[in-house]
Structure 1
Amino acid sequence: MDDVQSQFTGLLEQRGIRLNDRQLDQFESYYLELVSWNEKMNLTGITDREEVYIKHFYDSLSLAFYVNMEGKNAIADIGSGAGFPGIPLKIAFPHLKLTIVDSLNKRIQFLQHVVGELKLDEVQLIHGRAEDVARKPEHRDSYDLVTARAVAKLAVLNEFCLPFVKVGGVFAAMKGTDLAEEVKEAARSLKELKGVLLEAFQFTLPVSESNRHILVVKKSNPTPGKYPRKAGTPLKSPLV
């Protein structure tokens, strides 16, 4: 274990997350594949190894500081991009059944490669728009936990993500910016999509000292039939 991994594991242990040697090898393989594929396609603007471990891997796992992963089974990561936070969560908590939805097929191809290289099981990768996938019976009102990291404003995210959440399950929005204004703006979409705000958490990312916010929303009732609206509409005309 070198200095970067030692720092990474030490910071996680402070939060009660312990990784074994196999999991550390998986994170390192993930890093190497990310940097290699990033030369061919735009996956991330962050390629420095220490920064990837903190700003992508640790940041992804920060969700587990506030949401109990042991109590979750099926999770969905919407607009996952290069696999954050879904893949790091799957590495750290192998029992999770992970579904990733992304609208760009190239990113799905990268993730298929990563899943194979890391030998991750029970990972489903879907190329499609969240609004379309959420209307399929096998995904609608089905997941214990749904998350999205830095994808869109909360009023939009609610319509992207809450239709996937089962009644009693949670949606967790991971954001860099202060959520106060977004929460006010999202009041209508929360009501329409049967979401109840449980808690908002704020913390500082170590080393980089960047601010992070995680908003946890509980799903109180099934998604009304008219939602989500057709692909592209939530972004153009948010429920505000």
Structure 2
Amino acid sequence: MQEHGEWLQQAVSEWGLILSDQQLRQFAQYFERLVETNKVMNLTAITEPREVYVKHFYDSLLLAKSLDIKEVDSLIDVGTGAGFPGIPLKIAFPHLRLVLLDSLKKRVQFLRETADALGLKEVECVHGRAEDLAKQKGYRQSFDLVTARAVARLNVLAEYCLPFVKVGGYFVSMKGPSVGEEITEAKRALFILGKTTVEREEFQLPEGMGTRNILIMKKRDQTPKAYPRKAGTPAKQPLV
């Protein structure tokens, strides 16, 4: 793993992110747990070491190119799956208070055990649905930053995520190459859910491993109490 860790260290240092030897050990440990657990649970289709380091670790950390994570205190990663981008961001920025939300209990158990094994503090792993958790005190409009990576189309995702964001905070969606149509489709939802503006930044992953779009959305107003609607409704009846 050392060569992949050294590659990651060098790659992110080019845009000012410095990873210590301890942080590289945490990434190596995360990789090992991910691949081992993946043998008995579907966590990722990507298991080759360099691909994991580029498409999961580097890709997650790309967010720090678009936003000053040092200014972020609290982060909730919605539909986190195997922990992306939440865990890589927590490794790189240990000060973050992190909540990892997923609807599958087995994945949440994996995340809990991984956070403990890596020695990550202030990480809460929650089993549940965004539509339910976003109505609860302590979660609703309580986070500086909400992230989601390839969970749903943007107009649906906005209803899952924006209710968690503080006014003045950010929702960041990490998408693949084709997002123009999604942004247009989501304009009404983004306005209704917090008069939210959107900026798009496009990046090429190293070694020809693909194109990433990072959508940075700043929330300018409260989310109306009616949102999110009950579980299942945002996906079945998206705001358009």
Structure-to-structure mapping, 1:116-155, within 5 angstroms = 116-155=116-155
Mapped to 1, the partners of 2:143 and 2:237 lie a distance apart of: 26
| 1:153 to partner: Cα distance | 0.5
Q: What code does the residue aligned with 2:108 have? A: I
**Cα distance, 1:2 vs structure 2:** 3.0
Q: Secondary structure at the match of 2:206?
A: coil
Q: Which amino acid aligns with 1:85?
A: P
What percent of counterpart residues are identical? 52
The match for 1:10 is 10
Instruction: Report what 2:92 is aligned to.
Output: 92
TM-score between the two structures when normalised by the length of structure 2: 0.98
Aligned counterparts of 1:234 and 1:198: Cα–Cα separation in 2: 20
CA distance in 1, matches of 2:181, 2:15: 29
Partner of 2:72: 72
Partner of 2:194: 194
What is aligned with 1:46?
A: 46
Q: Which residue of 1 aligns with 2:61?
A: 61
Q: Which runs of 4+ in 1 moved over 6 A?
A: none
Contact 1:162/1:195 (<8 A) preserved: no
The 3-state SS of whatever aligns with 1:186 is helix
Aligned-partner SS, 2:191 = helix
Q: 1:195·1:217 contact (CA, 8 Å) conserved in 2?
A: no
- Counterpart of 2:239? 239
User: Could you tell me whether the CA contact under 8 Å between 2:196 and 2:221 is conserved in 1?
Assistant: no
Q: Secondary structure at the match of 1:191?
A: helix
- Partner of 2:227, secondary structure, is coil
Q: Which runs of 5+ in 2 are unaligned?
A: none
Structure 1 residue 196: deviation in Å? 2.1
Counterparts of residues 206-221 of structure 1 (less than 5 Å) = 206-221=206-221
CA-CA distance at 1:131 after TM superposition: 0.4
- 2-structure distance, mates of 1:140, 1:226: 12
* Alpha-carbon contact 1:79-1:103 (below 8 Å) kept: yes
Whole-angstrom distance in 2 between the partners of 1:72 and 1:198: 18
Query: Partners of 1:195 and 1:81 in 2: how far apart?
Result: 28
Give the count of matched residue pairs: 240
TM-score by length of 1: 0.98
Q: How large is the Cα RMSD of the aligned pairs?
A: 1.0
2:197–2:219 Cα contact (<8 Å) kept: no
Corresponding position of 2:167: 167
Q: 1:73–1:95: 8 Å Cα contact kept in structure 2?
A: yes
Does 2:110 correspond to 1:110?
A: yes
Deviation at 1:23, TM superposition (A): 0.4
Asked whether the equivalents of residues 60 and 85 of structure 2 are also in contact (C-alpha less than 8 Å), the reply is yes
Q: Is the 8 A contact 2:150 2:174 kept in 1?
A: yes
